[in-house]
Amino acid sequence: MIDVPHGLAAAQAKANGDAGQAFVAALPTLAAQFLQRWDLRLDGTPMHGRCALVLPVTSTADGTHAVLKLQLLDEESAGEPAALRAWAGERAVRLLRHDEPTGALLLERLDPTRMLTHVPDPHEAVLVIARLLADLTATPAPAGIRRLGDIAARMLERTPQALTRVEDATARRVLADCAAALREVAGEPGDRLLHWDLHFGNVLAADRAPWIAIDPKPLAGDPGFDLWPALANRFDAADVRRRFDAMTDVLSLDRPRARAWTLARLLQNALWNIENGARPASQDLEIAHRLSDDRTWPRRRP
Ligand SMILES: Nc1ncnc2c1ncn2[C@@H]1O[C@H](COP(=O)(O)OP(=O)(O)O)[C@@H](O)[C@H]1O
Ligand SMILES: [Mg+2]
C-alpha cells in the first residue's frame, strides 16, 4: 500500500479542492491497480510535485526501470501523452505506456537526483532550457493539443473584468500594457508544440542525454509563450533582460514578438491570481517592467 506524500495531498487540496482530495484518496488503489495491470513492482521512494505522484518501478517481465506517473486528468495534463509521443524521446522523456481513461503514464526512468535546479550557475541553466526549447518547439503540435490562439482570445475577454478587481494603479497599468501587447500578436498565435512549464525542476539528467524535459502541459502556439518559467525560476530581477536576450538568441526568435508573448504569459498568471482573489505576483510585475524599457526596443510600427 502506498502512502501519499503529505506535500502532494496538501497541494491538491489547495489547488483542486474536493476533486483534489478525492484524487488523493483514490491514489493508493489506483497505484496498486496499475502495478498489477502493467506488471510492475515498486522499487523506490514515491516522488511528487504539486500535481503528480511518481513511483519508481521495475517491469517484472523484462527488468526495465521506469516510473509510474499518476495525476488528476484535467485540460492541462490531458495533452501530456500526445506531446511526449510527438517528441518521441527527442529532448523529452519517453512515454512507454498510457491509459486513456485515467491518464496514468509509464515513463522512462531518468535520474531524479540530477535536476537542472542544482546547476550552480543560473545562466548556464537558462541556456540549457533555451536549447531544449529550441528543439522541442521545432516540432509542430499534433492534433488535439490545446491552442494558444483560443487561450489568448479568452484571456483578452477576461481582462477588462479582472482589471476592475486590481486596486493598485501601477499593477493595473502594467497588466493593461500586457493585454495591449497580446492584442498585437493574438492574430498569429503559432502552431509549434510548446511545453508551457519548462522550469529548472522539470529538467532531469539521464545516461542517454545530459538533460531531458519532463512534465509538459502542452499547447500549440508561439515559442515566445514558453520563455517565462526560466525568467521567473531562481528569480533575479537584474538578470531578466539578459536571460530573455540569451533565450531569444538561441531560439532565433523575433524579440518584439517574443516580448509580446512573454507579457501575455504574465497576463495569464495575473488573471489566474486575480480570479482566485489574489493579487498579481509582484515578481511577474517586475519581469514585465524589466521587459518594458522602451529605449531598448525597436519600434514595430513607425
Ligand atoms: N521520468 C522520471 N524519472 C525519474 N523521476 C521522475 C520522472 N518524472 C518525474 N520524476 C520525479 O517526480 C517529480 C514530479 O514529477 P512531475 O512530472 O514533474 O510532476 P508535477 O506535475 O507534480 O511536477 C519530479 O520532480 C521528479 O523528481
Ligand atoms: Mg514538475
65-71 and 47-48 as β-strands: parallel, antiparallel, unpaired? unpaired
Q: Which of 19, 46, 11, 21 is nearest to 32 (CA)?
A: 46
| Domain 115-296 class, CATH top level | alpha beta
Any ligand 1 atom below 6 A from CB of 48: yes
Q: Which protein residue has the closest C-alpha to ligand 1 atom 5?
A: 112
Q: Which residues are designated catalytic?
A: 197
Any ligand 1 atom below 6 A from CB of 53: no
Using one digit for the tens of pLDDT, what is the confidence trace for 54-110? 999 999 999 999 999 999 999 999 999 999 999 999 999 999 999 999 999 999 999
Using one digit for the tens of pLDDT, what is the confidence trace for 262-282? 999 999 999 999 999 999 999
Using one digit for the tens of pLDDT, what is the confidence trace for 125-168? 999 999 999 999 999 999 999 999 999 999 999 999 999 999 99
> Residue 107 — φ and ψ, nearest 5°?
-120, 150
Q: What are the domain boundaries of the chain? A: 6-109, 115-296
- Interval between CA 202 and ligand 2 midpoint (Å): 5
CATH architecture type of domain 6-109: 2-Layer Sandwich (3.30)
- Interval between CA 7 and ligand 1 midpoint (Å): 14
Any ligand 1 atom below 6 A from CB of 95: no
Determine what percent of the chain falls in helix, strand and coil, rounding each to the nearest 5. Answer: 50, 15, 35
Q: Which protein residue has the closest C-alpha to ligand 1 atom 16?
A: 215
Q: Which protein residue has the closest C-alpha to ligand 1 atom 4?
A: 110
